[in-house]
Amino acid sequence: MTKLPIYQVDAFTDRLFTGNPAAVMPLEAWLSDETLQAIAAENNLSETAYFVPAGEARWELRWFTPTMEVPLCGHATLATAFVLAEVLGEPAETLTFATRMVGDLTVTRQDDSWFAMRFPVRERTETIAVEPVAAALGKRPDAVVEFATPGDTSWLAVFSDEADVRGIEPDSRAIAALPPLNIIATAPGFAVDFVSRMFAPKAGIDEDPVTGSAHCSLVPYWAERLGKSEFVAKQVSARGGDLRCTLDGETVVVAGQAVLYMTGEIAVPK
């Protein structure tokens, strides 16, 4: 057996037992894809992030759910930056992650203990019929809009009120039967600019507690609707999470905090 370090971090929060938990694993070299997937399934968290050194303040980064590799994951990127900076002592202010599907991502440590991640904007592509989404979510949205990048399509179900989003009782099997990889429910917030929930049963995640990558769709939508570029957002899952977002041209800046829950070691067959 080979022993490997593992960290578990609650992302998009400054308090344990809230936000979105992610496993983070530093590697010296890539394991087989089968092993990476098996570890993620064993961890049984929404995402496990793996990183390998790739130069000064630069790492290769990949993310796996319990069932598949995903093209982009915000909370596990935040968790990885937190582990590098706050646990492993990386001194660089800006960390660069080379990814296989969306190119280089940068994360910058801010003075107030938040980490700002720069992600590509998702493009709005078409308007979707409301009825199938209403049936899957158990509540009827005002509109459904598709946002897409290669290999990753989201349907944004827009409601008029935060209470509607909080009150959704989704049918995961019905959601999985619809075409997109995930469905994001959103509405204006009572105390923030907008709220959201995200459902991705196709990726093995019935509901993701806090989803940084969902804001690649949410931020351009709300920027167009509200006529501004800076937002305070909240994901209103049972665990909940807080985000600060900015639309900067073709980039969405998503900032959050994180807290370490667990440090450990796993055994992997050689």
Residues assigned a catalytic role: 47
β-pair type (194-200, 230-235): parallel
| Residue 65 identity (one-letter amino acid) | T
Question: What is the Cα–Cα distance from 69 to 21, expressed in whole angstroms?
Answer: 17
Look at the chain and count its residues: 270
Query: 142: Cβ–Cβ under 8 A, 6 or more apart, which residues?
Result: 130, 158, 159, 160
Question: What is the Cα–Cα distance from 172 to 202, expressed in whole angstroms?
Answer: 9
Answer for the pair 117, 81: CB distance below 8 angstroms, yes or no.
Answer: yes
89 phi and psi angles, rounded to 5 deg:
80, 25
* Locus of tokens 């093209």: 71
Specify the long-range contacts of residues 185-190, CB closer than 8 Å, at least 24 apart. Answer: 185/137, 185/141, 185/157, 185/159, 186/156, 186/157, 186/158, 186/159, 186/218, 186/221, 186/222, 187/158, 187/159, 187/160, 187/161, 187/162, 188/160, 188/161, 188/162, 189/162, 189/233, 189/234, 190/162
